[in-house]
Chain A
Amino acid sequence: MKVSLNWLRELVDLPEDTGRLVDLLTLAGVEVEDIEQHGVAIANVVVAEIRESVQHPNADRLSVCQIDDGSGTLRQIVCGAKNYRVGDKVPVALPGAVLPGDFKIKVGKLRGVESQGMLCSAEELGMPKGEDGLLILGNEPAAGTPLGALFPSDTVLELEVTPNRPDLLSVNGIAREIGALTGKPVRFVGPQSAVSGVDAGAGAVQVASLERCPFYSARAIRGVKVVASPEWLRRKLEAVGLRPINNLVDVTNLVMLELGQPLHVFDADVLEGAVRVRCAVEGEEMVALDGKSYRLGAEELVIADGARPQAIAGIMGGEASGVTERTVNVLLESAYFEPRGIRRSARKLGLSSDSSYRFERGVDRAGVLRAAQRATELILELAGGEAGPVQVGGNVDALSREACVVGLRAERLCSLLGVKVEPARVEQILTGFGLVREGDGWRVPSFRADLTREIDLVEEVARVFGMEAIPAKTQARFVPASDTDGRYDVAMELRRACVAAGLHEARSITLVPEIPLGLSLTGIGAEALIRVKNPMIDDQVVLRPNLLHGLLKAVGDNFRAQAESVRLFEVGRVFFRGEQEEGSRLAMVLSGALHGRSWRGGQGREADLFDLKGILSGVLGSRVGFELKENSALALSLALTVGGREVGVLGQLWPADARALDAKAPVMFAEVNLDALAQAGWSRGGRVYEAVPRFPGVTRDIAMLVPLGLGHAEVVRVLESVKEPLLVGVELFDVFADASGEKVPADRKSLAYSLTYRSVDRTLTTEEVNAAHGRLKEALAGQLAVSFRE
């Protein structure tokens, strides 16, 4: 909503300083989005007539002009523009003028020729940029006329009016608000005389949908003369960005801006038969005033004549019945349309107007006929003609809303605001907004349909009272931590552990393509995906069922951006069909060099699955285990377990899949189900002290040849099965196989373990260690096909 301060000043005294007015409105909840400066308010800029123009003796691009500035003597000015002719009138900034940008005009010399001022373009005067060169003013203004007289200065505010305040969509309404905030009286605009000539019975207007249009009025005005509007009217419209059309249309726009009631004029001679307010027939078409054809549905309310729609009710008139210079007889519409229907149709048709903007927020019912009266008076004044009776359709009673009286308890107000507000202050504030005391409550005026409850009045008082005057309180009751707190802390600890392992935290959009990357890697089928009904783009169609799409995409993106390695993790929500629809996951991807190339020698080793396994052990601690898990979608695949329960998966992508991602190295990933982890009783905290060893340990190595297919886990299982109390550590320190069969047989591999023995209460003797070690070797030899290497 744009409002001109010159216009507003006709209704209410404004603070001298625009900044103060802006603050006043802003702190009362009416946000000022933009401040436009219109016209010219610069002293010493006047109209000049160019009498002579000759080539500058020393500069090809300059001319030397003699101008008449109205002073009686000619003035010499050097000028660079080319768009004028001798005899044109243009603005001249005389010495002493200060142009925008603090550009002071002085007498000076340009290439040796004196210049006593400057001829100006529109832009140089701070006006919107026009054609290149000087601003040509036409012949009318006399030389010497101050430019401010031709272009009166004005300040136009662009206000952001919240949807609950349709009453502010008019100059009257804004003046009322300012009056209430400053205490200044308001001179409201309105009709000269009371509404008269209402003819409810004639039946010239039929309203088929009272729900959508509770009240409709049409007034015939015959014998008008359609011409351009007078200067004052055109100026008002232009100030707020409306294009003047003709006196009839301009009057309806003016009254809409003044009172907030949209109006429409039809060329009455185009209409065939009585006016009907009805819903459109599905498929009916109409060309609107914007020149576009609209195909209407049964939901659209139209103003029709006997033959066809002539306007989309409350949104835009039809081109066919629009007022032209040939129009003689008009029909002036003023109505109340139900907001919801207008909003729906405007959105559906993709057509919004100043009219629909107001109707969809709700206009003042009590003002419908006053606006028609005001417009009639102005039409008769500016276009002549003779007004007929006001023909109405619908229900006149719909215009008077039930008296709304709202209570406001002083103690409630004070306890909600947290500060004492004097009753006199409350009285002053509410009265300023047009409320009237009635018994224990307040009668709310018709234009404030947003005030229906006590809390609404509290807000009005709070708005004017201001936050500045309310103290800042910093006490509150204690509340216990929630389950969410616990989950957050776990997630945060895991994040920090991942960072300590050298991973960067990623965050991906939860909406992913129809076929997300890595869908099958965690064993999810496409049937589990949750699809958005109205996606915006193809890349964001379903909710991610695991965290892999974002991370795998990042693998390719980072490699393409010349990364040597990709080390990322993400903690976030996943979504899938089922009872528990949303889950919490931690996922990692690892690919490429473990270290950058360095002066210590060579390129770092490429990460493999065992590096990721190590990272997971570090992040999740010793309580997690790993088990082999079949997954044909992966080259290598393991399950992550806690107490035998699966809580996650990790694996290495098939090289072909890694290549498809543009990865330059093997790609490993892991995903941990944080919900399952919590259910398995896993936590990082709450650990209990374990005695630090006081006696030295003894290590013994075992090197052995085992069948190629025998796994490390099998060796560990056998060692553990012995339940040797002195054995405290098993470390695999060498794995070696030789396909050529030269160093070890081709069907065997060499495993080397370091076993650590220790007692909590004594230093072990060599004999004790040898005996224990012998028992373990015996178990290995007995249970597995191993041969020891000495």
Chain B
Amino acid sequence: MDQSLEELRVTALAQIAGVGDEASLEAVRVQYLGRAGKISAASEAMKSLPKEDKPRIGKLLNEVRGAVSGALDAAKAALLAKADQAAFAGVDGSLPGTGLPQGSLHPLTQLQERAIQIFRRMGFALADGPDIETEFHCFDALNTPADHPARNEQDTFYFGDGRLLRTHTSSVQVRTMEKVAPPVRIIAPGAAYRRDEIDATHLAQFTQMEGLYVDENVSVADLKGTLEFFFRELLGKDAQFRFRPHFFPFTEPSYEVDIKTSALGSADRWLEIAGCGMVDPAVFEAINTRRGDRAFDPEKVTGFAFGFGLDRLAMILSRVPDIRYFTDNDQRFLAQF
């Protein structure tokens, strides 16, 4: 028996060593370890052995079973490893990716969102108002006289009922102050309209960002601090500022803000970016009259307002040569952002 078991071990291991595929390996396993296999048969045969031989033969049988079983496992692992190797051998890692189609936010939305997030960190809330405005909200309340050049049909879209498409988002200042009392601290992104000839830098509709802060003791120093902080956050720490005195009907003193910064591609040239100023007392008085109270008494509260065009800023920041690209909705353009 001892000898036949040894022979069994030798043949089995030789057979396993010669197997080249999983199916044959399985057949070998069945041949030896299966219910009717040779090792099972040997185990069966052991029952008829004399009692004193049983422990020795039993031990030997276990050794043989272990050796065959281990050899089968090792051979199977080797076959799988070989198959794994083969599975990846032909893969061309330089094939292009096949991801899902990618969407994109409009470049103006992206810039507007960045601007809003900066102003929100500074504690501004959002405000809005209608695109179809009354002359009161767009002009009268903003201290713009009836014969002001902006108020004619050459420059402004009117409707039959005398209303108009707002020419600036400053009308939202008025809308907001009508409703709430100081402190008012808002930004208002939105569309504005002008009857411009359409060309590379003009559309009938453009996007502005308006801002207003009214409270006790708001000063030019607050205006300067706010705009410098905002534009440094937006355009980079190296931004330099020049507040050029200017004239707007609804602010006094008024300024235009020029900026020099590498982000705008103008490290050595001033670019006019925004208009701003202290809210004119006449605007507060128009609001008070409308509200029927003195919530915006110019002796008690002061404020600053500012506005800038998002389209032009986006054009400069992203080097977009023609404003019309923003509304052409060409996917080849949109997918770039």
Instruction: Specify which chain A residues have a CB less than 8 angstroms from the CB of B132 in the assembled complex.
Output: 530, 543, 575, 581-582
Interface residues of B in 126-163 (CB under 8 A from A): 126-128, 130-132, 147, 149, 152-154, 157-160
CB pair A472 B158 closer than 8 Å: no
Q: Are A455 and B281 in contact (CB under 8 A)?
A: yes
**Cβ of A479 < 8 Å from any Cβ of B?**
yes
**Which of B241-289 touch A at CB < 8 Å?**
242-247, 252-255, 278, 280-281
Which residue in B108, B215, B335 is a CB contact (below 8 Å) of A507? B108
Residue B125 at the chain A interface, CB threshold 8 Å? yes
Are the C-beta atoms of B221 and A573 separated by less than 8 Å?
Answer: no
Given contacts A455-B281, A484-B127, contact A27 B244 (CB under 8 A): yes
**In the bound complex, do residue A473 and residue B191 qualify as a contact, i.e. CB atoms below 8 Å apart?**
no
Q: Hey, which chain A residues are within 8 Å of B331, CB to CB?
A: 504, 558, 561, 563, 566-568
Q: Residues of B contacting A26 with CB < 8 Å?
A: 242, 244
The answer to whether A595 touches B101, judged by C-beta atoms less than 8 angstroms apart, is yes
Per the 8 Å Cβ criterion, residues 575-612 of A in contact with B are 575, 581-582, 594-596, 598-600
Check: B226 CB closer than 8 A to any chain A CB: yes
Complex alpha-carbon distance, A505 and B109, angstroms: 9
| Given known A-B contacts A416-B278, A474-B229, A499 and B195 have beta carbons under 8 A apart | no
- For residue A688, CB closer than 8 A to chain B, the reply is no
CB–CB A499/B123 < 8 A: no
B195-224 residues with Cβ-Cβ distance < 8 A to A are 195, 197-198, 203-205, 213, 215, 217, 219-222, 224
> Among the listed stretches B57-65, B67-75, B82-90, B180-188, which one makes contact with chain A, having 4 or more residues with CB under 8 Å of it?
B180-188
B158 touches A459 (CB 8 A): no
Interface residue? A28 (CB, 8 A): yes
Structural contact, A419 and B221, CB atoms closer than 8 A: yes
Interface presence of B23 (CB below 8 A): no
Chain B residue at smallest Cβ distance from A568: B329
Contact A504 B183 (CB under 8 A): no
A415 to B147 alpha-carbon distance, docked (Å):
33
Is A463 close to B, CB under 8 A? yes
Knowing A416-B220, A511-B204, A530-B159, the reply to whether A488 touches B116 (Cβ < 8 A) is yes
Q: A455-B280, A477-B183, A504-B334 are in contact. Are A498 and B103 (CB under 8 A)?
A: yes
Partner of B195, one of A459, A492, A536, A599: A536
Write the A164-177 contact mask toward B (1 if CB under 8 angstroms, else 0). Answer: 11000000000000
Q: Does B328 contact A (CB under 8 A)?
A: yes
Q: Judge if A537 is at the interface, Cβ distance under 8 Å.
A: yes
Q: What's the minimum C-beta distance from B285 to chain A, rounded to whole angstroms?
A: 11
Pick the contact of B127 from A482, A503, A543, A565 — CB < 8 Å? A482
Selected from B95, B105, B245, the residue in CB contact (under 8 A) with A28 is B245
As a 0/1 sequence over residues 462 to 502 of chain A, the CB contacts with chain B under 8 angstroms (1 = contact) are 11000100111110111111101100100010011011111
- Knowing A478-B123, A504-B104, A531-B160, the reply to whether A467 touches B329 (Cβ < 8 A) is no
What is the total of A-B residue contacts with beta carbons within 8 Å?
A: 237
Which residues of B have CB within 8 Å of A473? 219, 221-222, 224-225
Asked whether, in the complex, the Cβ of B126 is within 8 Å of the Cβ of A484, the reply is yes
A531 is contacted by which of B124, B127, B159 (Cβ under 8 Å)?
A: B159
Known contacts A477-B185, A482-B186, A418 near B221 by CB under 8 Å: yes
Closest chain-A Cβ to B277's Cβ sits at a distance in Å of 9
Contact A575 B125 (CB under 8 A): no
Whether a CB of chain A sits under 8 angstroms from the CB of B173 is no
The verdict on B228 contacting chain A, using a C-beta distance below 8 Å, is yes
Interface 0/1 of B82-124, CB less than 8 Å to A = 0000000000000110101111111011000100100000111
Instruction: Kindly state the separation between the CA atoms of A364 and B266 in the bound complex, as whole angstroms.
Output: 41
Contact flag A509-B203 (CB < 8 Å), given A467-B220, A557-B330: yes
Residue among B116, B147, B229 facing the most chain A CB atoms (10 A cut-off): B147
Task: Say yes or no: B222 contacts A476, CB within 8 Å.
Answer: yes
B108 touches A470 (CB 8 A): no
In the bound complex, how far is the Cα of B125 from the Cα of A445, in angstroms? 44
Bound-state Cα–Cα, A458 to B253, Å: 7
**Residue from the list B127, B213, B220, B328 in contact with A476, Cβ < 8 A:** B213
With a cutoff of 8 Å between Cβ atoms, the chain B residues found around residue A596 in the complex are 101
Name A523-541 residues within 8 Å CB distance of B: 530-537, 540
Q: Which of A545-564 contact B (CB under 8 A)?
A: 550-551, 553-554, 557-558, 561, 563
Is B48 an interface residue, CB under 8 A from the partner?
Answer: no
Output the nearest chain B residue to A481 by Cβ-Cβ distance.
Answer: B125
Compute how far the CA of A163 lies from the CA of B254 in the bound complex, rounded to whole angstroms.
13
Residues of B within 8 A of A467 (CB): 220, 224, 242-243, 255
Tell whether B56 is near chain A: CB-to-CB under 8 Å: no
Expressed in whole angstroms, the Cα–Cα distance for A31 and B246 within the complex equals 9
Asked if A470 and B103 sit within 8 Å, CB to CB, the answer is: no
In contact, B104 and A561 (Cβ under 8 angstroms): no
Is A347's CB within 8 Å of the partner chain B? yes
Q: How far is the CB of B226 from chain A (nearest CB, A)?
A: 7
For chain B, give the interface size range. Answer: 35 or more
A401 touches B (CB below 8 Å): no
Q: Is the CB of A567 within 8 A of B103?
A: yes
Within 15-47 of A, Cβ neighbours of B (below 8 Å) are at 26-29, 31
Q: B127 — which chain A residues lie within 8 A by C-beta?
A: 482, 484
Q: CB distance B215 to A476 under 8 Å?
A: yes
Q: A482–B120 Cα gap in the complex (Å)?
A: 12
CB of A507 to closest CB in B, whole Å: 5
For residue B35, CB closer than 8 A to chain A, the reply is no
Contact, CB under 8 Å: A417 / B103: no
Q: Does the CB pair A532–B159 fall under 8 Å?
A: yes
Alpha-carbon gap, A164 to B228, bound state (A) = 27
Contact B158 A482, beta carbon cutoff 8 Å: no
Inter-chain CA distance A550–B329, complex, in Å, is: 8
Interface residues of A in 314-343 (CB under 8 A from B): 340, 343
Chain B, Cβ-Cβ closest to A511: B204
- Is A617 engaged at the interface, CB distance under 8 Å to the other chain? no
Asked if B327 contacts A599 (CB within 8 A), the reply is no
The smallest beta-carbon distance between B29 and chain A, in angstroms, is: 33
- Distance in angstroms from A162 CB to nearest chain B CB is 4
Does B47 count as interface, using CB distance less than 8 angstroms?
no
Distance between B108 CB and nearest chain A CB, rounded to angstroms: 6
* Best-surrounded residue of B103, B159, B243, B330 (most CB of chain A within 10 A): B103
Q: Which A residues lie within 8 Å of B147 (CB)? A: 340, 343-344
Cα separation A488 to B224 with both chains bound (whole Å): 27
Q: Given B103, B160, B246, which contacts A29 in the complex, CB threshold below 8 Å?
A: B246
Cβ contact within 8 Å between A532 and B158: yes
Q: Tell me the complex Cα distance, A128–B116, Å.
A: 49
CA distance A553 to B98 in the complex (A): 29
- Interface residue? B51 (CB, 8 A): no
Q: Are A418 and B220 in contact (CB under 8 A)?
A: yes
* Among A474, A504, A566, residue most surrounded by chain B Cβ atoms (within 10 Å): A504
Q: Mark B161-193, 1 if CB is under 8 A from A, else 0.
A: 000010000000000000000011110000101
Which residues from A are CB-within-8-Å of B281? 453, 455
Instruction: Please measure, in the bound complex, the distance between the C-alpha atom of A530 and the C-alpha atom of B165, giving whole angstroms.
Output: 11
B-side contacts of A581, CB under 8 Å: 130, 132
Contacts of B326 in A (CB 8 A): 507
Could you jot down 19 A-B contacts, CB within 8 Å?
A26-B242, A27-B242, A416-B278, A418-B219, A476-B185, A476-B226, A488-B116, A495-B105, A507-B109, A531-B159, A532-B157, A532-B158, A533-B158, A553-B329, A557-B329, A557-B330, A561-B330, A563-B332, A596-B101
Q: A462-B220, A462-B245, A492-B113 are in contact. List 20 more A-B contacts (CB 8 A).
A: A27-B244, A162-B246, A343-B149, A417-B220, A419-B221, A467-B220, A471-B225, A472-B229, A473-B224, A476-B183, A476-B215, A482-B127, A505-B104, A510-B131, A550-B329, A554-B330, A567-B103, A567-B331, A581-B130, A595-B100
* Chain A residues close to B by CB (< 8 Å): 26-29, 31, 162-165, 340, 343-344, 347, 415-419, 453, 455-456, 458-459, 462-463, 467, 470-474, 476-482, 484-485, 488, 492, 495-496, 498-511, 530-537, 540, 543, 550-551, 553-554, 557-558, 561, 563, 565-568, 573, 575, 581-582, 594-596, 598-600
User: 5 nearest interchain CB pairs?
Assistant: A418-B221, A418-B219, A29-B245, A162-B247, A467-B243
